[in-house]
Copies of this chain bind each other. A is one copy, B any other.
Amino acid sequence: MSTDYTLETIQVSLSAQDRFAEYLQSRGMRNTGQRRRLVEHVFSTHEHFDADNLIEKLPRKGEAGYVSRPTVYRTLNELVDAGLLRKFELAGRAVYEHDYGYPQHDHLYCQECQQLFEFQSQALIELRDSVAKDHRFRVTGHRLIISGVCEECSRSRQRKKRRQDLI
């Protein structure tokens, strides 16, 4: 799952690794090898991923640096709590992306190639806040996914049968 990264990175004072260390310390949790390894992998590339994608890239059982599946899931949740990752759902599974040092944005989802493309829109934020105000609703966040077919897939006429996508 590769990504269109035209968005600017926000200035942050700490690396993800350090930020997580700080978070762990503040909670009396330990900064273990498994946690550091996971943070390193997760922040080594700017991509959307799910637990399986991540596990595939990690050493297998028996190899050095192996991290078990439960630990991957546990750590992903910790990273979300720490504000380093954002989590959302697509087609029935949890998808993660960088949050720390990365601006708020939304997604275009290609139903053919399953790729996610990002975009930023101030108008959307204003629209959101205005709708919320009309409903006397206190906003904590939002999630917009526009689905369709990306340029590349539109070109290649290869018609695959459309699945019942969850958007």
Q: Which positions in A face B, CB cutoff 8 Å?
A: 77, 80-81, 87-89, 92, 94, 108, 110-111, 117, 119, 121, 123-124, 127-128, 131-132, 134-151, 154, 164, 166-167
Contact between chains at A167 and B144 (CB < 8 Å): no
Minimal Cβ-Cβ distance residue in B for A81: B164
Choose among A77, A111, A123, A135 the residue with the greatest number of B CB atoms under 10 Å from its CB: A135
Q: Which residues of B contact A111 (CB under 8 A)?
A: 140
- Return chain B residues, CB-CB under 8 Å to A143: 143-145, 147, 167
Closest 8 CB pairs of A and B: A136-B151, A139-B148, A144-B144, A142-B146, A143-B167, A138-B149, A140-B148, A138-B148
Count this chain's copies in the assembly. 2
Contact A146 B167 (CB under 8 A): no
Tell me how far the C-beta of A118 lies from the nearest C-beta in chain B, rounded to whole angstroms: 10
Residues in B with CB closer than 8 Å to A128 are 144, 146
Q: Which of B123, B127, B137, B164 contacts A117 (CB 8 A)?
A: B137
Centre residue among A134, A135, A145, A146 by max chain B CB count within 10 A: A146
Considering only CB atoms, which chain B residue lies closest to A155 in the complex? B136
Complex alpha-carbon distance, A147 and B132, angstroms: 9
A151 — which chain B residues lie within 8 A by C-beta?
135-137
Contact A154 B135 (CB under 8 A): no
Closest Cβ neighbor of A167 among chain B residues: B143
A103 to chain B, nearest CB (A): 16
Q: A88-B167, A108-B132, A121-B127 are in contact. Are A145 and B147 (CB under 8 A)?
A: no
> A113 to chain B: closest CB distance in Å?
12
